[in-house]
Amino acid sequence: MFYGVRMGCPSVLCASVILALCHWGVPSLASTYGERGSDLGMRVFQEVVRSRPQENVALSPHGVASVLGMLLPGADGETRRQILTALRYKKSGPYKMLKRLHKGLTTKSNQDMVLIANGLFSQEGVVLEEPFVSANTANFQCHSQSLDFSHTPAAAAAINDWVKNQTKGMISSVIEPDMLDPALTRLVMVNSIFFKGLWKSRFLPENTKLRNFNPSDGVMYKVPMMSQLSVFNIGHASTPQGLKYKVIELPYHGNSISMLIALPTEDNTPVSALLPHLNTSTLQGWTKLLTQRKVRLLLPKFSVEAEVDLESPLSAVGVGDMFRQNKANFKYLSSEPLYVSKALQKAKIQVNEDGTKASAATTAILLARSSPPWVIVDRPFIFLIRHSLTGTVLFMGQINKP
């Protein structure tokens, strides 16, 4: 018998927003931007799940780093130092890296997969420092637009329309009118990442069946589980405390981005026990552990939509001054003192078996004479969507209830 392996299609999407009111600071970046930024974003993720241990959560570590990167050229003093320290950037020179990273993620061969959009919305009449605007235009292909924030519904609608368009309709709203202050809002920064990947090896919809899933609260229930027999990179890893977990890599069509799944080996190991050990060097280490194995993989279809207020997790990792009216220093952003009134990220991820049929090149024919091992993702797991070349973590999430 043979199994045709086709494409599956998760799409992921995410928008981060920073709202600035009067009073503010600056951003900069350094070498290996992708990994450093991702490490910060992964620490932010850990802070977020600490307050939501039982929920599904999704975040774009890269998006968090991008927004801080956009603020950096406007910041000075302690505000700037906090951003630089968190991102582990040196004083200067990060932009070349950043530009290269964005280019790598959005090259032609990748274009259907990653779309990164950055927007800067300022109050009509507020003059932003020219070097700040040009740094963001040059390094983040940043869209700039002025809006009248005194009409909060119209201003919110304009930003939401832009985000909706940039995310191909997946995120239709990030800003509520009441997040804007008609008198004080000066600047809203938005970073959105849209990702739509086709599995290199697709799941056949007819193989998707309801199967048991064991959520962390212990009440087993049925979820649609996709299934395919194929060759995957699979490995066994363990935390420094000896907690064992499986790692499964599912590459996307273009081969430059993969989804990595970390699944505790023991039923009673919660995903929260693995999270503190996830950083870019751990992920890099996985690549050496993984070996190609033919298995039947059972993976739940899942979708997760999460909105994260970044203020408290960013403050927890040492980037707090930018949110404080009396501390923020965004001297190079505007002559008027500004601070960040709101930093939000919204991420939406859908993972399913769908994809195009135009994948003849990826069709594998497998002979299955003896029954291959089954790898069943039937309890809470962590996923990461990673750009292999730069180690950038575009998205990560924990799924407690698919």
Ligand X SMILES: *[C@@H]1O[C@H](CO)[C@@H](O)[C@H](O)[C@H]1NC(C)=O
What b/e string do you get for 161-190 counting C-beta neighbours within 10 Å, with b at 16 or more?
ebbbebbeebbeebbeeebbbeebbbbbbb
Cα Dmax for the chain: 72
**Bridge pairing between strands 302-309 and 291-300:** unpaired
Separation of first and last alpha carbons in the chain = 31
Task: Give the shortest CB-282-to-ligand X separation in angstroms.
Answer: 5
Query: CA torsion, points 264, 41, 284, 114, in degrees to nearest 10?
Result: 100
CA-CA distance, 95 to 347, in Å (whole number)? 25
Cβ contacts of residue 141 below 8 Å, gap of 6+?
Answer: 102, 118
Q: How far apart are CA 228 and CA 208, in angstroms?
A: 9
Give whichever of 277 and 324 is closer to ligand X, judged by the CB atom: 277
**Structure-block tokens of residue 299:** 């993976």
**For the chain, what is the radius of gyration of the CA atoms?**
21
Q: Which residue from 135, 138, 156 is spatially nearest to 342, judged by alpha carbons?
A: 156
Rounded least distance, CB 283 to ligand X, Å: 9
Strand, helix or coil for residue 160: helix
Closer residue to ligand X (CB): 271 or 338: 271
Shortest Å distance, C-beta 5 to ligand X: 33
Q: 264 or 300, CB closer to ligand X?
A: 264
CB of 121 to ligand X, least distance (A): 13
Using CB under 6 A, list all residues that contact ligand X: 162, 165, 240, 277, 279, 281-282
For residue 89, give the 3-state DSSP assignment.
coil
Three-class secondary structure of residue 206 per DSSP: helix
Burial class (CB in 10 A: 0-12, 13-18, 19+), 374: exposed
Q: How far is the CB of 252 from ligand X (least distance, A)?
A: 22
Q: Which is nearer to ligand X, 31 or 214 (CB)?
A: 31
Of 42 and 376, CB closest to ligand X: 42
Distance of closest approach, residue 39 Cβ to ligand X, in angstroms: 7
Distance set, CA 304 to CA 11, 101, 174, 292 (Å) = 11, 26, 16, 29
How far, in whole angstroms, is CA 265 from its chain's centroid?
A: 25
Q: Which residue has the tokens 């950083």?
A: 279
Q: Which is nearer to ligand X, 137 or 282 (CB)?
A: 282
Q: What is the spatial distance between Cα 315 and Cα 319, in angstroms, rounded to a whole number? A: 5
Least separation in angstroms between residue 112's CB and ligand X is: 13
Give least dist CB 279 to ligand X, A: 4
| DSSP class of 235 | E
Q: Among residues 277 and 327, whose Cβ is nearest to ligand X?
A: 277
Shortest distance (Å) from residue 240 CB to ligand X: 5
For the bound state, the minimum distance from the C-beta of residue 162 to ligand X, rounded and expressed in Å, comes to 6
Kindly state the tokens that stand for 393: 């973590």
